[in-house]
Amino acid sequence: MSVNNPTSTGFGPVSSNRHQLDENPLHIAQRQIERACEALNLPTTARKLLRQPLREFHAMLSVQMDDGSVEVFPAYRVQWNDARGPGKGGIRFHPQETVDTVRALAAWMTLKTAVMDLPLGGAKGGVICDPKHLSKSELERLSRAYIRAMSQAIGPDIDVPAPDVYTTPQVMAWMMDEYESIFSRRQPGVITGKPLCVGGSIGRNDATARGGIYAVREAANLLKIDLKDKTAAIQGYGNAGSYAHQLAVELLGMRVVAVSDSRGGVYAPEGLDYRKVQEHKQRTGSVVGYPGAQTISNEELLELNVTVLFPSALENVITERNAECIRAQIVAELANGPTTPEADEILHRRGVFVLPDILCNAGGVTVSYFEQVQNASNFYWDEATIHRLLDERITNAFATMHQTATEYGVHNRLGAHIVAVKRVYEAMKVRGWA
């Protein structure tokens, strides 16, 4: 494991002459933070600290494959800022992962925990690998290797990982077990998103989607839209997207007319039954080919004339290339970073109400925080308590974001970023960092 000095890792410029089409997520996160700093008129020292990670850890993981060969996987843990509390954020296993993506996700985690007013900082992990081509035992060895490499960097009061794209409660269980083996003690609070039987929290599975649904409810109240029988489209059908399908129907009475995953999408104007679509995906590996529905592409899904669009997959799907064509009234970002800053301006001008990622998908980390609290006290709450506390957090964060966006005359995302950056700055200031 090497500890990198972030100032020497070749970060791109954060200047105003950046290229318009720069879709590097790190540069996007840095520009967003810079704008919030400008709005708040923060001193240079604070800006310097906020625009790069405090620490990062890089490792090459050697993992034995089932056929006896050894493969090497690059792995990262980035701690963007922990002024408000221990680092917090998921670990992503993805073939297209880059260190700059992990950095951006760590930056967004910092803003997310702050806008939700959780006593946590922001961090993120990633491994460049293709979990779809790993056996269960290879995945276990990779998960354990990650923890061996990062064991000094993480801990319940240092930095607490969790699931992200392509990592599951089972992966969290292996990771916790490896950490506990290294330190010879039970430490369930080292990681969240665990299975219930080893210290997971009830309500963590659907928490990302549930938080997003509560946020959509708040937005609809504000905009005076009655969501009953109104339409929704969901791009991405992983943990967030598939539960969003279920909860949009069950909690909001909406009609989900289109869903998609990395292989493509399906569309049915009368609405898609979430049980049947989930069962089809379970059986075939994709939503594509779902009987009785038309096939559509991910690009077409994003441009459907629906009331709510849920981008629930990866970064940069709403850009200046398609933002003029988005017809949804509400864009509820369950993915991290799905909308570029150029697209934000276009959507804002066109009156599309964007629920920004750091608020809309914060249900996951919020219930992760509840999981940590339960682990620390070794006492577990019931589902109604989790749902109530999550609802309160989302509803309060929504109100604060909306109030700030109105006060500054800016779009919701910048409003949320101003709230978050201000809180992180206050913590850095009282600590004497800036």
Q: C-beta of 391: minimal distance to ligand GLU in Å?
A: 17
Cβ closest to ligand GLU, residue 139 vs residue 227: 139
| Min dist. Cβ of residue 261 to ligand GLU (A) | 18
Q: Is 164 in the site for ligand GLU (CB under 6 A)?
A: yes
Query: Based on CB atoms, which residue is closest to ligand GLU, 192 or 231?
Result: 192
Site for ligand GLU (CB under 6 A): which residue of 175, 365, 405, 427?
A: 365
Asked if 135 and 103 touch (Cβ cutoff 8 Å), the reply is no
Q: Is 192 in the site for ligand GLU (CB under 6 A)?
A: yes
Q: Which is nearer to ligand GLU, 88 or 281 (CB)?
A: 88
Question: Which residue type occupies 250?
Answer: E
For the chain, the farthest-separated pair of C-alpha atoms sits apart, in whole angstroms, at 62
Piece in contact with ligand GLU (CB under 6 A), picked from 40-48, 50-58, 321-329, 360-368:
360-368
How far from the centroid of its chain's Cα atoms is residue 58's Cα? 21
Query: Which span (26-34, 46-54, 300-308, 363-371) binds ligand GLU, by CB under 6 A?
Result: 363-371
Which CB sits closer to ligand GLU, 169 or 415? 169
Contact in structure between 348 and 326 (CB atoms under 8 Å): no
- Total number of residues that touch ligand GLU (CB under 6 A): 13
Cβ neighbours of residue 108 closer than 8 Å, sequence gap 6 or more: 29, 122, 336, 337, 357, 358
Pair 249, 213: CB distance under 8 Å: no
- Of 79 and 231, nearer to ligand GLU (C-beta) is 79
Q: How many CA atoms lie within 13 A of 195 on its CB side?
A: 9
Residue 22, judged by CB atoms within 10 A of its CB (0-12, 13-18, 19+), counts as: middle
Task: Kindly identify the residues of this chain, within the stretch 93-112, that bind ligand GLU according to CB under 6 A.
Answer: 112
Report the distance separating Cα 304 and Cα 294, nearest Å.
13
DSSP H/E element including 341: helix 341-349
In the list 25, 90, 131, 169, the residue contacting ligand GLU (rule: CB under 6 A) is 90
Beta bridge partners of 353: 330
Nearer Cβ to ligand GLU (261/315): 315
* Residue nearest to ligand GLU according to CB distances in the complex: 90
CA–CA separation, 372 vs 105, rounded Å? Answer: 21
Stretch 317-346 residues interacting with ligand GLU (CB under 6 A): 336
Does the protein bind ligand GLU through residue 242 (CB under 6 A)?
no
Residues 329, 107: Cα–Cα separation, whole Å: 28
Q: Is 89 in the site for ligand GLU (CB under 6 A)?
A: yes
Binding of ligand GLU by 364 (CB under 6 A): yes
C-beta of 273: minimal distance to ligand GLU in Å?
27
Q: Which amino acid is at 189?
A: G
Minimum Å gap between C-beta 106 and ligand GLU is 10
Give the contacts of 422 (CB within 8 A, at least 6 positions apart): 36, 40
Site map (CB under 6 A) of ligand GLU, residues 143-162, x = contact: -------------------x
Token pair of 142 as six digits: 């990779």
Type of residue numbered 407: E
Which residues are catalytic, by number? 124
Q: Decide whether 87 or 415 has the Cβ nearer to ligand GLU.
A: 87
Which positions lie near ligand GLU, rule CB under 6 A? Answer: 88-90, 112, 162, 164, 192-193, 336, 361, 364-365, 368
